Amino acid sequence: MNAKIITISREFGSGGRSIGKLVAEQLGYAFYDKALVERIAKESGYAEDFIERRGEDATSKSSFLFNLSRSGGGGFDGMPAITDKLYVIQYNTIKKLAEESPCVIVGRCSDYILRNEPDSLHVFIHADAEFRARRIVEIYGERDNAPLKRVEEKDKKRQVYYKNYTGRIWGMSENFDLCLNSGKIGIEKCAEIIVGLAKK
């Protein structure tokens, strides 16, 4: 296969970021997670914190918008104008990065944006909510009293954002080459499978 572009979409707390980092290290690829936010900040002039909050998740008022975008088929009809603007900047930045050098890109609809690139591998990482709730407490030191609720809210916001800009249902296997349950398979083994496929 020899995948030069690897996108990793992931449920919140599933370890997708850690897996992407391992894969990038093992393959010697550029890794765009925090570095992607920095690059988008540079291109757009928006603050990194703003991009973190608005570049991947819908705002919290969106359950109404979610239904709207589901029925409407998605695409620039349910988000505030500034979020639409940020999406376009992210789109262009991700396209540019993918041309620069072999890379692993985490999140921000990169699977959709780069869906037609040759030599690409699109991965989705998921795990059950309990595993993820435990993980955000252990790894990220989340202090929220209700980590399970936090995981579910974050899931919902990512679903809404993704549906709005891609017209796709979040987590459908048909949109990926590989979907892995990190809670069952383990972080290292997930990385090993991806590296094995990328080098094939």
| Residues contributing to the site for a copy of itself (CB under 8 A) | 1, 121, 124, 126, 169, 171-174, 176-181, 184-185, 189, 193, 196-197, 200
Closest C-alpha among 24, 193, 28, 9 to residue 106: 9
Closest C-alpha among 75, 73, 78 to residue 61: 78
| Torsional class of 18: left (φ above 0), alpha (ψ -120 to 50), beta (otherwise) | alpha
| Minimum separation from the CB atom of position 111 to a copy of itself (A) | 12
Contact between residue 6 and residue 29 where contact means Cβ atoms under 8 Å apart: yes
| Minimum separation from the CB atom of position 183 to a copy of itself (A) | 9
Helix axes 147-166, 63-72, angle to 10 degrees: 30
Q: Pick between residue 54 and residue 132 the one whose CB is nearest to a copy of itself.
A: 132
How far is the C-alpha of 18 from the C-alpha of 24, rounded, in Å?
Answer: 10
| Minimum separation from the CB atom of position 50 to a copy of itself (A) | 30
| Minimum separation from the CB atom of position 79 to a copy of itself (A) | 24
Q: Pick between residue 59 and residue 181 the one whose CB is nearest to a copy of itself.
A: 181
